[in-house]
Amino acid sequence: MNPVLDQFNALVTSMRMIENENEKLKSNLEKLEVEDNQIKADLQKAQEDLTKSEADFKELKEEHTKIMTNLDAELEKCKSEAALKEEEKNLYFDIKTLEKDIEALKKENEFLAYELDDVRQGKLTPNFSKYLQSKLNKDGKAKLLEHYGKTIPVERVQGIISMPTIERIFDATILYYSRDHIVRTYEERIERRQYLDDKNTEKYVEIAVRQLNDFDNAVDSAQLELLEKLGLTLDEFSQSIEMYFAEGNQEVYVLTSMIPQKLKMFMPQRKRLTAETVRNSLKFQKEILPYEFKVLDILKKYKEDLTVDRVTTLLSNRLLDKVYEKFNFEIEDFTSALQLPECRNDQEIKNLLLDIKNSIVEQIPKTVHNTFGTEEPVVQAPVQGKKK
């Protein structure tokens, strides 16, 4: 054996091992460089997402500020009108307390608006109302009811409840129920929109009719709580209203028929729509409307639950549910947009609205009258548990 040769071979072997290690280190370094570049890319994307989130938050904050400004302007307008009726104001609610109630509703509406994205994406559980109610002021309704019990003066004229007292009871009912109405409306939309496709139309109509009944019952229940707090019975209240109807008093009819519209005012707008979006949504509604009249045939089985107004509401809700499915904006976003100058002054929008309205007016009364055999009375008395 040659010691020199052995040392040389050992050296060669060591060098080869070192070269192999170098190759491994080089390979690992390249992997680290790739990972480093990926981390840098992820950081860049995260920064972009953060920037976008900040911009979205700023936009939402600006929109909320506009809403608050508009509400404050309306409140100031109400104060001015109240000042012109000093005598009536003294008999009406305590204005200071009402302002606090309105502020509380604003805060609740703000919270509900921010939760709406989760609702649209289906992230919340079916117990949606319980989830939201846990976030709201649990004592709010009780305090509001207590307040109305103390501040609404019950007056009678010739043995029946006076008209000013009835007006105050209806106004108080709307404010008292508005918090529950917001929660109920979101939950009902989630429920019925699961059945928007054509194969589930009957199921959709069944749910929609039930929701109309539930709405009436919920409003009646809230009003009954208020009546009991005021020491009034349902019979006395109903009989007083019937007396005003018998006298031809149209104010009572307006009070009852406007409850749904007034409650809609409490639904928080989330998106500001452009005139172009409104036009496109109206074109879509006009396009699908002839196919949606098929719900009228399904409604024949619900003749005891429906009136022309209720059929119109059901059909309008279905159209706007379809609009939500296609355009991803809510009913209150649409109705708020229609009040904007660029929409009010847009002739194409006016024409589309008129075309849709005429189609519904032409089709629904004829269908409802043929189905139910009688026409709607011009004025119908609101009776607890009956459909207004």
Q: Domain for residue 387, yes or no?
A: no
- Whole-number average pLDDT of the chain: 79
Q: Which of 55, 151, 49 is nearest to 101 (CA)?
A: 151
Q: Of 18, 52, 84, which residue is a domain's last?
A: 84
What is the mean predicted confidence (pLDDT) over 330-337? 92
Can you read off the two tokens belonging to residue 128?
Answer: 């949606």
pLDDT (tens digit, 9 = 90+) per residue, 63-106? 878 888 887 777 777 666 665 555 455 444 444 555 555 555 55
Spatial separation of the C-alpha atoms in residues 387 and 213, rounded to whole Å: 7
Strand partners, 156: 161
Q: What is the pLDDT of residues 18-69, one digit of tens each?
A: 888 888 888 888 888 888 888 888 778 878 877 877 787 788 778 878 888 8
**Is 186 or 50 the better-scoring residue by pLDDT?**
186
Question: Is residue 23 domain-resident?
Answer: yes
- Let me know whether 117 and 240 are in one domain: yes
pLDDT at 109 over 90: no
- With tokens 């028929």, the residue in question is 257
| Whether 185 and 318 share a structural domain | no
> Do 240 and 330 lie in a common domain?
no
Q: Does residue 366 carry a pLDDT above 60? A: no
Is the model more confident about 57 or about 374? 57
Same domain, 59 and 108: no
Q: What is the pLDDT of residue 386?
A: 42
Q: Are residues 115 and 236 in the same domain?
A: yes
Co-location of 345 and 201 in the same domain: no
Q: Give the model's pLDDT for residue 142.
A: 80
Same domain? 57 vs 127? no
User: Has residue 388 got a pLDDT over 60?
Assistant: no
User: Is residue 2 included in any domain, yes or no?
Assistant: no
Higher-pLDDT residue of 287 and 50 is 287
51 and 187 housed in the same domain: no
- On the 0-12 / 13-18 / 19+ scale of CB atoms within 10 A, 357 is exposed
Please check whether residues 222 and 115 belong to one and the same domain.
yes
Domains: count for the chain: 3
For residues 245 and 290, membership in a common domain is answered with no
Q: Which residue spans within the chain are E strands per DSSP?
A: 156-157, 160-161
* One-letter amino acid of 210: R
Q: Which residue has the higher pLDDT, 173 or 82?
A: 173
**What range defines the domain where residue 341 resides?**
275-372
**158/73 Cα distance (integer angstroms):** 39
Whether residues 162 and 254 share a domain: the answer is yes
* 106 and 244 belong to one structural domain: yes
Q: Which of 24-28, 112-116, 193-197 has the highest mean pLDDT?
A: 193-197
**Going by C-beta distance under 8 Å and a sequence separation of 6 or more, which residues neighbour residue 124?**
115, 118, 131
Domain boundary among 84, 111, 135: 84
DSSP label of 374 = S
